[in-house]
Structure 1
Amino acid sequence: MFDGDPLVELSHVCFAYRDVAGDAGASGRRAVLDDFNLTINRGECVALLGPNGIGKTTVMRIINALEFPTAGEYRFGGTPVTRVEVEKRNSRFAKALHQRIGFVFQNSDTQLFCPSVGEEIAFGPTQMGLPDAEVERRVNDIVRLFDLERFVDRAPYRLSGGEKKRVAVACVMSLNPDLMVLDEPTDGLDTENTALVVRVLKAYVEAGKTVLISTHHHDIVEALGAHIVRM
């Protein structure tokens, strides 16, 4: 499962949100994507660029199987990803998919909920069923990698916005996913922390992993050497 190349294929994808305000015409739906195509190869860093509201976050939510195309096809590792497979009761398909893809939301508060930063980083590997020794090793490695030693015992709600974003990226990387999807990963970060996150992501790609980001910061795209997809 999920072993084909390329890693991500969106083919002729269309998507529309239900418009509760009722200003989307007779259909009651607001079109966001229309015949959209995207291919991401293994070991590639791709940057989605475009104005707010163009559909970048929607593309990322589809790739993470949080939304599903209204038309077209999504394949991950050569395997079709459909609502039917993902939403099956106790779906092993969904569990396997979500272990292979890590999503860093634009708003870090949506994914930080544990009592301490250390527990946040350990949560994902623990849910994967990894042995305690491996969980501890991953936590220690990630804490060092992201320079989080002084935050390990601190509650996430006591962190600044930039610190929360750094922890959110660290938590996803602790899962060691094949694909990291990051929605505006450097928003709220100062120059020093932006450089740290970029350095870690670049090393992740050099290690053979795949990264998809959306950003308005062209200097970040250049620093990552990302392939640009304009929307």
Structure 2
Amino acid sequence: MFLFLVSSCSFFYENKDHTKKQNNNLNKEIINNFSKAISKNADNFLFYLERGKAKHAYGDYIGAIKDFNDSLRLNPNSKAIFNRANSKYAYGDYNGAIKDYEKFISRNIFQDQVFYSIANSQFILLEYEKAIENYSKSIKYDQDEENAYLNRGNAKFKIGDYIGSIKDYEKSLEINAKSYVALNNMGVSKFKLKKYRNALQDFKKSLKLNPNNYNTFYNKSLTHFELKEFKKACIDLKKSNKLGKEIFKSEYSKICF
């Protein structure tokens, strides 16, 4: 088992300067304020849009979708269609999210985040080649988006393009040298190419950045096994099982335990 993470979409409504509890309190207040405003003027599409954003941030995705529907009912040109797509994505309706993102793009409002979000949905739906195409479009509009390179690398890995995936992980690392996920995944691609020593170097770098990542210890363990370095392999496998509460069992477990 290897670690491949799809980075989550960035949503319009975020408050990074507050704790989660403070965020929830703030979002509740925003929801209440806009509910009062709607009770006095139910025909203002912006009120539903803003309340929907707050509901999304609060985790009420169904409520958010309903508000975005009302915003679009009152103003079909409302940007709520993008927010509704984000809420559908968060709720797990990936096909519905893709349809909304594509509607947003059809209005000639081109944003790198839209293509990135479509690609994430397609990745989850196992439509890797389509995802690669949309990650590429996202990168065209924002060449400094590390996650677009990271996830395009993941999609390339899924279709067996290990060399292409390594190039994308390297681009992601050029933007953010501290991405332990990119280092881990690059190591996995090198493992697939049987470049075991190079893979080990990537796993070691990844663990320096995140020493509690049991996935990477597991990957490093399997790499040592391939090199017949059984003592080192067992040390890493035991660390992986300890950190991951023994969730990994491999064909080599009987050698170590």
Calculate the TM-score normalised by the size of structure 2: 0.29
More strand by share: 1
More helix by share: 2
Choose 1 or 2 for highest CA Rg: 2
Which has the higher relative contact order, 1 or 2, with Cα contacts under 8 A spaced 6 or more apart? 1
Calculate the TM-score normalised by the size of structure 1: 0.31
